A and B are shown apart, each in its own frame.
Chain A
């Protein structure tokens, strides 16, 4: 069987939509989710008939991917990221790339990146914004880590990202946890704007309408 060009681990809605987006842009994809039933539902639903292979173990997932492997990790931030990396690592080889696309704390990203670097595995802490719709149609992608790691996945990420008048909404952000740092601040700004709009909606002139 021909190997897949890109892997997505974690099939919550963001993972599903990003996998579909990558397939839509012409790359072959392998997916894996801890709970098999979710994978089955996905394969029978929105992934049906697409260039997408379902796998049911970390080993099978890694074996389905061409080398160097390019794996997008889309699991809940915190300990699930560490768990998945630990389970995946025995099946990876030097030069493989893990992209953590969740909202990880930048300090965790730096720690993971350093630990994986000892085994020659490349790690890109990547902020992804756009919600469900952005994930499917084109999100904003903020990758950080080693530049050489970014270069391995650059063509896929820039193709998958939203496109605006002056280019793709994806650029190499900086070393270490820079990608997740920028995403964190992005979300901080988002909190601010949302609250400002809520306060405007709550204003006395609006009340007494």
Chain B
């Protein structure tokens, strides 16, 4: 699966090493795929966590990245997870669908979610550039990421071009290349997310990516209710869609 994907539009260093890791047999005597023998608690050295913390500080949504940080954090609770699996019996639903179809869904989901991961990171850099007067050239940043680094992939050329065409691009998701790519993938992206939900498999980064995409492309979000609640319990005031000014209401009268 990963080998095939790497040859196509998803190709990149992380996919390449994932392909190789999948193919690696244990050097010791088990005869198993080595990856299956690796302890499932992931380490994190700080930069991922810092990205999330800093994103909160400057007010940029990076749900995919935060989901990834949290996935590592919860992996660290291995003893508790082992106990909880015994305590909370949920019969796993067995996959009985067409595997070839599911693989296509996963491929679209991975593609669109990875685009979203880049989109959040680039949007964060764009915001930081204003916040700290870095005057970043995001086209150049994407260009130097094309080689040598861990996130090099085929997506960086279109990212580079998107920022070259429009230096103040709000988000790569609205650039023509990515708009088309994600739109095309979105049906299968949802199917893959549903697959995980229905079978009780945690897929926080894929789902957070989809939620980000859906929120970002939605003109009207339910934050109106949030504002009404805030005004109701804390007199935090609100603004209206139909007229200028700041309002406060006695909601329970």
Contacts and interface: CB of A to CB of B under 8 A. Distances in A.
A181 B68 contact: no
A140 B149 contact: yes
A175 to B, nearest CB: 7
Given A175-B134, A208-B95, A209-B99, A187 B110 contact: no
Contact of A188 (B18, B47, B206): B47
Interface residues of A, number: 58
B52 A199 contact: no
A83 interface: no
Contacts of B93: 204
B248 to A, nearest CB: 38
Contact of B51 (A162, A168, A187): A187
B1 A206 contact: yes
A190 B140 CA distance: 18
B109 interface: yes
Nearest to B103: A205
B182 interface: no
Interface stretch (B76-84, B191-199, B214-222, B234-242): B191-199
B55 to A, nearest CB: 8
In which size bucket is the chain B interface?
Answer: 35 or more
Taking chain B's interface residues, is the majority helix, strand, or loop, or is none over half, making it mixed? Answer: helix
B133 A175 contact: yes
B145 interface: yes
A207 B200 CA distance: 12
A105 B50 CA distance: 8
B25 to A, nearest CB: 17
Contacts of A178: 132, 134, 136
A169 B149 contact: yes
Contact of A171 (B62, B69, B133, B144): B144
Contacts of B199: 204
Contacts of A184: 47, 50-51, 54
A97 B71 CA distance: 39
B48 interface: yes
Contact of B46 (A77, A142, A161): A77
Interface in B32-78: 44-48, 50-52, 54-55, 62, 64-65, 67-69, 71-72
B102 A205 contact: yes
B143 interface: yes
Interface string B1-43: 1100000000010110010001000000000000000000000
Contact of A196 (B95, B146, B152, B206): B206
5 contacts: A138-B147, A171-B143, A196-B117, A206-B1, A207-B95
Q: Which 3 A-B pairs give the minimum distances between C-beta atoms? A: A162-B148, A188-B51, A192-B117
